[in-house]
Amino acid sequence: MTFQKFLLGLIAMLMFVAPATAQQTTAQQTNLPPTQLALEVQFYPNVAPGYQVVSPDKRTWSWWGRFAQVPGWKQPTDWPAASAVNINSELAEDGVRVWVSVYLGEMHEQEKDVASYVLHEREKQTVRELADVGVVPFEIKLVRVNLSAIEPPAFKSNAKSIELVSMRPLLATMPSFEVVVRNVSSKNVLAFRQKIFQSARMQIMGMPQGKEGQALIPPGGTYSFNARIATRATPGADGYTPVVLPDQVIVISTAVFDDGTFEGESDAAIEFVAFQKGRSIQLARAIGLLEKASTSKDSVASSVALLRQQVGALPFEVDAAAVQEVRAKVSVPDGRDVKHLIEVSMKGTRDELLNDVVQFQLHNRRTDSAALVEWLATTKERYQAWLNRL
């Protein structure tokens, strides 16, 4: 997979979940004190490791798109190549439980479980099973992080409508700040692109946006987000230690408004319009499936199982008309792969809609037909309202 397409996939992930890069970039919002524990992940030979925070109260994940391929690896013809390694962690009574899987296919079409372990502090595990899918094994070590207080980063907004209100350090395992910004325009902000630079080099990127097409920041309103400051693993006498990089700047590079305009860099605006198009395509399809399910004469279990199958089978290939529609809404430079952006969004939206069905199925194993009809109606109404906002 090319770096460009990896980056596009990463951006899509930023759009569908909380901002995250290959390592978690946002502090986990919880009332519990931080664990001060992190997974030190050696993801590439002869490259300094990265860190993945262990939450005190929930399972957290990070996926790693950079890895080395086993020399001489022959890709089987009956399954796609590995495109990312996914690592989940959860605090357990006897240590930290770690699950490792791989995403297969350029669009993460499949996920294959690889291994699971329980790690104790300073214990290291080599994930040798990754070699079975052509990935040079990662090394994962559970470490305790003790970073001293740091100076807040600088702040800059290339979108004149977004201004800084406040910035304060957070009690977190990895250095993080709560940043509050205000929309000083007369328009709704739907999304903005946030970047963290160190000495003019971008380290971390995210794009907060309103839930299900809603406004993120109304005129005069504020929005709070957690920015994790970039660190670098530095070798020492007793292994690696995360060190905060100097001279960091939080930059708001783009703000996108509900009237179709934007301020700042155009890249994020193009991505946002493409993602909205991908969502609208899949939402319209899902609404049709919900309508069909509501008229089914099958049993509740059969109806839900069929709906799950149909939503899971929603395609994410886009036609030329949809690509042209995006290009008509925003000026797209020659060579910009709008088609792939839409398809990434369609894949992410399909997965999100499928999760809705799976959650209903898991929590309503003995439900009656009336409960199913109610769920179908309320879900269809929610999807329609979401679609209307796009």
Dist. CA 246–CA 243, nearest whole Å: 9
Strand partners, 332: none
Say how far apart CA 125 and CA 117 lie, in whole Å: 8
Decide: helix, strand or coil at residue 261.
coil
* Residue 132: DSSP 8-state: G
The predicted pLDDT at position 134 comes to 96
Which residues sit opposite 140 in a β-bridge? 41, 125
**Which of 238, 248, 252, 235 is CA-nearest to residue 181?**
252
C-alpha distances out from residue 204 to 24, 193, 195, 228, Å: 10, 11, 6, 8
Closest CA relative to residue 189, chosen from 259, 277, 276: 259
pLDDT at 170: 92
Q: What is the pTM of this model?
A: 0.87
Q: What is the pLDDT of residues 85-123, one digit of tens each?
A: 999 999 998 899 999 999 999 888 899 999 999 999 999
* CA distance readout (Å), 109 to 90, 112, 135, 302, 338: 25, 10, 18, 25, 19
Split the chain (390 residues) into runs of 10 and give each run's mean pLDDT: 44 36 40 91 95 94 95 92 96 93 91 96 96 97 88 95 96 94 98 94 94 97 95 89 93 97 96 96 98 93 95 94 93 90 95 95 84 95 97
Spell out the domain ranges in the chain.
3-144, 154-264, 266-389
* Per-residue model confidence (pLDDT) at position 102: 97
The two three-digit tokens of residue 106, written as one number: 């350029």
Q: Is 202 helix (H, G, I), strand (E, B) or coil?
A: strand
pLDDT of residue 262: 97
What architecture (CATH level 2) is domain 154-264?
Sandwich (2.60)
**180 neighbors 222 (Cβ within 8 angstroms):** yes
pLDDT at residue number 368: 83
